[in-house]
Amino acid sequence: MNKSAKLILAALVLLAAGSAALLLLRPAGEEHPVARITLDGELVREIDLTGVEEPFSFTVEGPAGLTNTILVEPGRIRVSEADCPDQICVHQGFISDGTTPIVCLPNKLIIQIIGGGEALDAAAG
């Protein structure tokens, strides 16, 4: 075999291996990312982020009377305003996958994204 034939053969083997890896490692069923909003442990609202066409916001009031204003945009969600003293939930910004939830401890608010094919990182395996 000459050098060009070996290169073509190597390229075909790599292409076949890459294609097989994509087919075997992809998620079985693609789920839409859904933002699940809970307040004091109770589900307040679920929002399919792929179905959002226009940005909108709404406010939730927690058990102590504190409020969080939630901003939803296509594919992402955030807390834009809050009555809590530390504002950690506001400074976190937008989330669009299930890697990190938004948590407001003073108001007992949790926003997490379920589905959407979130992947494990290299540290998790």
Q: What is the pLDDT of residues 112-124, one digit of tens each?
A: 999 865 454 444 4
Q: 42-69: buried (b, 16+ CB within 10 Å) or exposed (e) per residue?
A: eeeeebebeebeeeeeeebebeeebebe
Which domains does the chain carry? 34-114 (2.60.320.10)
pTM to 2 decimals? 0.69
Q: What is the pLDDT of residues 30-62, one digit of tens each?
A: 578 999 999 999 999 999 999 999 999 999 998
Mean pLDDT computed over 14-30: 61
Q: For the chain, give the percent of residues with pLDDT over 90.
A: 59
Q: What is the pLDDT of residues 68-104, one digit of tens each?
A: 999 999 999 999 999 999 999 999 999 999 899 999 9
